[in-house]
């Protein structure tokens, strides 16, 4: 049971980091870019909205996979990607 704690925490950490990034960092970036009236700044912020969350979730799953002690028959093809 203890072997599953680190992978679960890694996945939850990726989810929470993605949520924090979208709620805090992107809002501050949007307010920072809107003050000097930079053209098309809203397009830049909107393009980051879902992508960073997905990448942080993928990083959480990767961390979970690395921390699991599974057989090399399963993990070797995954790490080749």
Question: In the chain, what are the domain boundaries?
Answer: 2-69
Q: Cα(31)–Cα(78) distance, rounded to whole angstroms?
A: 40
Cβ-proximal residues to 45 (8 Å cutoff; 6+ apart), any chain: 26, 29, 30, 33
Q: What is the pLDDT of residues 26-36, one digit of tens each?
A: 889 888 888 87
- 4 pLDDT band, cuts 50/70/90, is confident
**Predicted TM-score (pTM) of this structure:** 0.71
């Amino acid at each position: 049971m203890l072997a599953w704690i680190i992978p679960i925490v890694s996945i939850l950490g990726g989810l929470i980091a993605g949520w924090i990034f979208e709620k805090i960092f992107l809002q501050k970036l949007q307010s920072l870019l809107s003050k000097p009236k930079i053209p098309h700044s809203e397009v830049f912020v909107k393009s980051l909205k879902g992508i960073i969350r997905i990448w942080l979730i993928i990083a959480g799953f990767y961390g979970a996979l690395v921390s699991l002690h599974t057989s090399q028959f399963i993990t070797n093809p995954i790490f080749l990607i």
